[in-house]
Amino acid sequence: MEVIEVQTRSRNYPVYIGQGILNNPALWSQLVNGRRLLIVSNEIVAPLYLDTLCKALPAGGQHEQLILPDGEEYKTIDQWMRVSDKLADMKAGRDACIIALGGGVIGDLAGFAAASWMRGIDIIQVPTTLLAQVDASVGGKTAINHVAGKNLLGAFHQPRAVIIDCETLNTLPTREYRAGLAEVIKYGAIGDSNFFNWLEQQADSLNARLPESILQAVITSVNAKADVVAADELEQGQRALLNFGHTFAHAIETATEYKLWLHGEAVAIGMILAARLGTQLGLDTGEAEQRLTRLCAALGLPGAESQLPPAGELIEHMRLDKKNLGGQYRFILLKTLGQAFIHTEITDADLSAVLTG
């Protein structure tokens, strides 16, 4: 089992990564012995893994469960209230601990419930999608959606620990798995060209879901995320680099009402468009766009050839991007593969050229 220590101003915590580690009574005992526990999961993940988790928890421990409906449309105030009501029923005090068992939706929602209950109780993240393992579970961003937009109600609340059992990915649908790979590619593109090269070489193994390749991809990704979060926990600078491809992606997702593309798929398209924008601005020779296009295709992800909403509509959405400051776009671009930076001098004409190019 690999252990990565995430170090932030508000808290240091371990991320345990391995195969079959959900079923590790010694680990659970060390983390939660004697605690009041609330396991929050959903109706897809609970039948698969709740039993294994419960059996691994300290015998005789008091654990309650709350199983929520599945889907982004349930990352709502109503479901957050259900978690809070459950904590109230349990008479949960500051020493209670939530275990979030599921993908990023459950992790974000249970995380926000933990952040807000009594101004903050512990949460242990047990991510079961690739996207949640390499991104959402690490770094302390928690949120629910508001009718006015995605993730508008949220808090930074670092977990007490993260337990990543890569074996849980065996049941993950292929499309969800591939969407998670987009975030893995992102770490190579923004900060680690050796990792990008490795991903290119491992495409067949990753497609075949070879456990050793997945484990290595997850460990490298979590290390990358831990480094960024340690340097900038509250996203005042460098953490924004993790949004490479995301400005285009969010615009694509919003314009298609989150119905056409999974987040990771939109990120794949967004990364390629962002690389193209860099080339167009004379930052690189076009190599980044070509290699990103090839790698995304090799891993079954869509690319910039996809049928996208009209450029004007996407630009309208990008004008509202949360990263913009003082009416200026803030794009994450590549100097070269493995080296990202924040660029603030982008015009609508630049974006239009990229989207119609």
Q: Is 167 a catalytic residue?
A: no
Residue 172 contact among ligand NAD, ligand GLY, none, beta carbon within 5 to 8 Å by kind: ligand NAD
Tokens of 328: 């200026």
158 contacts 11 by C-beta, under 8 angstroms: yes
Question: Of the residues 35, 160, 250, 291, which is catalytic?
Answer: 250
Q: Is 243 a catalytic residue?
A: yes
Q: Which of 325, 224, 326, 348 is nearest to 277 (CA)?
A: 348
Q: Is 316 a catalytic residue?
A: no
Question: Minimum distance from CB of 58 to ligand GLY (Å)?
Answer: 31
**CB closer to ligand GLY, 27 vs 242:** 242
**CB closer to ligand NAD, 42 vs 220:** 42
139 binds ligand NAD (CB under 6 A): yes
Q: How far apart (Å, rounded) are the C-alpha atoms in residues 1 and 195?
A: 21
Question: Minimum distance from CB of 243 to ligand GLY (Å)?
Answer: 6
**Interaction site with ligand GLY (CB under 6 A):** 135, 139, 141, 235, 239, 242
- Strand intervals (E) in 9-71: 12-18, 37-42, 63-68
User: Quick count: other Cβ atoms within 10 Å of Cβ 151?
Assistant: 15
Q: Is 183 a catalytic residue?
A: yes
Question: Of the residues 82, 246, 276, 291, which is catalytic?
Answer: 246
**CB closer to ligand GLY, 36 vs 250:** 250
Place of tokens 């990103």: 292
- Torsion on CA atoms 263, 265, 268, 270, rounded to nearest 10: -60
Beta bridge partners of residue 142, listed in sequence order: 155
155 binds ligand NAD (CB under 6 A): no
Which of 8, 125, 158, 168: binder of ligand NAD (CB under 6 A)? Answer: 168
Q: How far apart (Å, rounded) are the C-alpha atoms in residues 260 and 281?
A: 30
What is the DSSP-derived secondary structure letter of residue 325? Answer: B
233 binds ligand NAD (CB under 6 A): no
Place of tokens 């990792």: 195
70 binds ligand NAD (CB under 6 A): yes
Q: Is 263 a catalytic residue?
A: yes
270 binds ligand NAD (CB under 6 A): no
**CB closer to ligand NAD, 127 vs 188:** 127
Q: In the range 22-61, which residues lie near ligand NAD by CB under 6 A?
A: 42, 44-45, 48
Q: How far apart (Å, rounded) are the C-alpha atoms in residues 142 and 122?
A: 13
Q: Is 225 a catalytic residue?
A: yes
174 binds ligand NAD (CB under 6 A): no
Q: Is 235 a catalytic residue?
A: yes
Residue 48 contact among ligand GLY, ligand NAD, none, beta carbon within 5 to 8 Å by kind: ligand NAD
Q: Is 151 a catalytic residue?
A: no
Q: Which of 17, 21, 35, 53 is nearest to 130 (CA)?
A: 17
Q: How far apart (Å, rounded) are the C-alpha atoms in residues 258 and 145?
A: 13
Q: Name the one range near ligand NAD by CB under 6 A: 130-138, 157-165, 267-275, 345-353.
A: 130-138
Q: How far apart (Å, rounded) are the C-alpha atoms in residues 194 and 192?
A: 5
What does DSSP say about strands 161-165 and 149-156: parallel, antiparallel, or unpaired?
unpaired
Q: How far apart (Å, rounded) are the C-alpha atoms in residues 53 and 131?
A: 20
Residue positions annotated with a catalytic role: 119, 141, 183, 225, 235, 239, 243, 246, 250, 263
Q: Give contact residues for ligand NAD (rule: CB under 6 A).
A: 42, 44-45, 48, 70, 72, 75, 102-106, 108, 128-129, 131-132, 135-136, 139, 141, 151, 168, 171-172, 176, 263
